[in-house]
C-alpha cells in the first residue's frame, strides 16, 4: 500500500504541505504573477533566434556561465571583488541558501506576510520558518519585534524582501540595517523588484561579509528564462556553490539572457511604461469606493475590498485573473494583489471593478 509506505518514509513536514498551486490562466487576462505584460519586440526576435541557432544542444551548458556572468557583473553594478552565483530563477537560489545552512533545529526568519517561498522551501528542507508580523496599518517593519525574534530564535538566515511581496512597500533603510547588524547568521536582501524601486543594498556588500543581495530577471520581463542572481562575499558563495547542481542554468537561458541584456534598454523602456501605468492604476483605484489600495514600489498593487473571495471569482468570471490573498495571512484578510498589465488590460480591470463594485 502506497499510503502505508508514504507514512513510514516521508516525513510529517512534507506530508502536511500543500504543493504551490499555479492556477490555469488560458484565455484570461493574466494579472496574478508579476510578469511583464510585454513580449520581446518583434524586430529583435530574428537576431535572438540567430544567437540560439549557434547553441549546441548536444553539449552541456557552461557550469560557470562565464559569458552571462561577465555581462551580469556590469548590469548589476556588482562591487569590485564581489562574488556572483546564478540560479534557475531566484527561487532556486533561495533553496540553495537554505540547503547550505540546513540542520536540526535551524531557523529561518523573515517579516510576514512576505514571499510564500521562504516558508514553503524552509519546510521542505527541514528548517523551521518564523515570520515576524509587519505593522498592520502600513506593513512597515516592526523593528522591536524583529530584534526580539532574532535574539530569541538565532536564525541561520534572515530573508528581507525589499520591496516586499505582496505588500509592495520598501522598509525604512535604517531598520533593515539594524536587522543586519543584529543577525547572528546570513542576511539575504531579496531585491526581486529592484527595477521598479531603484533602491538597493548592493553597495553595502563591500562593508558587510554576511550580507547577500538576491536579484532576478523574472520581473523585468524574462520570467520564462528562469535566471536568478545572488551577489555577495566570495566566502559565503563558495559554500553555497557546493550545493548547486553543476548545470543548473541551461544553454538556451544563458545565451538568451546574454543576448537580451545586451539590449537592456528594451527592458528598461518596458519597465518605465509599467511604472507609469502603476501610478495611473493606483490613482484610479483610489478613486473607487469600497477599495483600499496601498502605495507600491513594485509592478503590482495590494488592495483590500469588502469580500475578496467573491470579487476574485467575479473578476475571473470576467476573464481577469488576479491573486486572492484572503486567508494566506491574518494581515491580508480580504486582500487581492493585482499585477500591472498593459494599459488595455488595466482598463479592463478598472471597468470590471466599476461594474462589480457599484452593484
Ligand atoms: C517573484 C519573486 C521571486 C522569485 O523570482 P524567480 O526568479 O522567478 O524565481 C523571489 N522573491 C520575491 C520577493 C519575488 O516576488
Distance 216 CA to ligand 1 centre (A): 7
Rounded to whole angstroms, the Cα distance separating 116 from 129 reads 11
pLDDT at 13: 87
Residue 29 near residue 348, CB atoms below 8 Å: yes
* Predicted pLDDT of residue 21: 83
Q: Which residues of the chain have pLDDT under 50?
A: none
CA of 215 to the centre of ligand 1 (A): 8
The three cell numbers of residue 186 are: 546570513
Distance from residue 134's CA to the centre of ligand 1 (Å): 20
**DSSP string covering 35-89, please?**
--SPPPPGGGHHHHHHHHHT--TTSPP-TT-HHHHHHHHHHTTPPTT-EEEEESS
pLDDT score, position 129: 97
Query: What percent of the chain clears pLDDT 70, i.e. is strictly above it?
Result: 100
The answer to whether 97 and 188 are in contact (CB under 8 A) is: yes
Cell numbers linked to 35:
510578469
- Amino acid 1: pLDDT: 81
> Which sign, positive or negative, has the C-alpha torsion 88, 91, 97, 101?
negative
pLDDT tens-digit readout, 31-62? 999 999 999 999 999 999 999 999 999 999 99
Best mutation site among 192, 219, 227, 301 for ligand 1, i.e. most ligand atoms within 8 A of its Cβ? 192
pLDDT at 44: 92
The C-alpha atoms of residue 4 and residue 282 are separated, in whole angstroms, by 52
Q: Among 117, 213, 214, 224, which is best to mutate for testing ligand 1, by the most ligand atoms less than 8 A from CB? A: 117
Determine the atom of ligand 1 nearest the C-alpha atom of 92: 9
Instruction: State the pLDDT at residue 19.
Output: 84
SS3 content of the chain, % helix, strand, coil (to 5): 45, 15, 40
> Which atom number of ligand 1 is nearest to the Cα of residue 216?
7
Atom of ligand 1 nearest to the CA of 218: 8
Pocket of ligand 1 (CB under 6 A): 34, 89-91, 115, 161, 165, 190, 192, 216, 218, 223, 228
Structure confidence at residue 305 (pLDDT): 97
pLDDT of 264 reads 96
In sign, the C-alpha dihedral spanning 111, 114, 119, 122 is negative
265-281 residue pLDDT tens:
999 999 999 999 999 99
The answer to whether the beta carbons of residues 113 and 131 sit under 8 Å apart is: yes
List pLDDT tens digits, range 96-129.
999 999 999 999 999 999 999 999 999 999 999 9
Mutate to test the pocket of ligand 1, among 218, 249, 302 (most ligand atoms within 8 A of CB): 218
**Of all protein residues, whose CA lies closest to atom 1 belonging to ligand 1?**
192
Measured between alpha carbons, how far is 116 from 266 in angstroms, rounded to an integer? 30
Q: Give the C-alpha distances (Å, rounded to integers) separating 204 from 84, 87, 310.
A: 15, 22, 45
Amino acid at each position: 500500500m502506497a499510503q502505508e509506505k508514504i507514512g513510514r518514509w516521508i516525513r510529517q513536514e512534507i506530508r502536511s504541505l500543500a504543493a504551490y498551486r499555479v492556477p490555469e490562466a488560458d484565455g484570461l487576462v493574466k494579472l496574478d504573477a508579476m510578469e511583464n505584460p510585454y513580449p520581446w519586440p518583434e524586430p529583435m526576435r530574428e537576431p535572438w533566434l540567430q544567437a540560439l541557432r549557434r547553441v549546441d544542444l548536444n553539449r552541456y551548458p557552461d557550469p560557470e556561465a562565464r559569458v552571462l556572468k561577465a555581462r551580469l557583473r556590469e548590469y548589476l553594478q556588482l562591487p569590485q571583488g564581489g562574488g556572483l552565483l546564478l540560479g534557475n530563477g531566484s527561487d532556486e537560489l533561495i533553496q540553495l541558501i537554505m540547503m547550505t545552512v540546513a540542520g536540526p533545529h535551524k531557523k529561518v526568519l523573515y517579516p510576514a506576510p512576505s514571499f510564500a517561498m521562504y516558508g514553503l522551501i524552509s519546510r521542505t528542507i527541514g528548517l523551521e520558518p518564523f515570520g515576524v508580523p509587519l505593522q498592520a496599518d502600513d506593513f512597515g517593519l516592526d523593528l522591536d519585534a524583529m530584534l526580539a525574534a532574532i535574539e530569541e530564535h538565532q536564525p541561520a538566515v534572515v530573508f528581507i524582501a525589499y520591496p516586499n511581496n505582496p505588500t509592495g512597500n520598501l522598509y525604512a533603510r535604517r531598520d533593515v540595517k539594524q536587522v543586519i547588524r543584529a543577525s547572528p547568521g546570513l542576511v539575504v536582501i531579496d531585491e526581486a523588484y529592484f527595477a521598479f524601486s531603484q533602491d538597493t543594498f548592493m553597495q553595502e556588500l563591500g562593508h558587510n561579509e554576511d550580507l547577500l543581495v538576491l536579484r532576478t530577471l523574472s520581473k523585468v520581463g524574462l520570467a520564462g528564462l528562469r535566471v536568478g542572481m545572488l551577489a555577495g562575499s566570495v566566502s559565503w558563495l563558495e559554500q553555497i556553490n557546493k550545493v548547486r547542481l553543476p548545470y543548473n542554468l541551461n544553454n538556451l537561458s544563458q545565451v538568451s539572457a546574454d543576448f537580451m541584456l545586451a539590449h537592456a534598454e528594451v527592458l528598461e523602456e518596458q519597465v518605465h511604461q509599467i511604472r507609469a501605468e502603476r501610478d495611473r492604476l493606483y490613482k484610479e483605484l483610489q478613486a473607487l469606493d469600497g477599495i483600499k489600495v496601498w502605495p507600491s514600489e513594485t509592478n503590482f498593487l495590494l488592495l483590500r475590498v469588502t469580500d475578496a473571495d467573491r470579487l476574485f471569482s467575479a473578476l475571473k468570471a470576467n476573464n481577469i485573473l488576479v491573486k486572492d490573498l484572503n486567508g494566506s495571512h491574518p494581515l491580508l484578510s480580504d486582500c487581492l494583489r493585482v499585477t500591472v498589465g498593459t494599459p488595455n488590460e488595466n482598463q479592463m480591470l478598472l471597468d470590471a471593478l466599476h461594474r462589480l463594485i457599484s452593484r
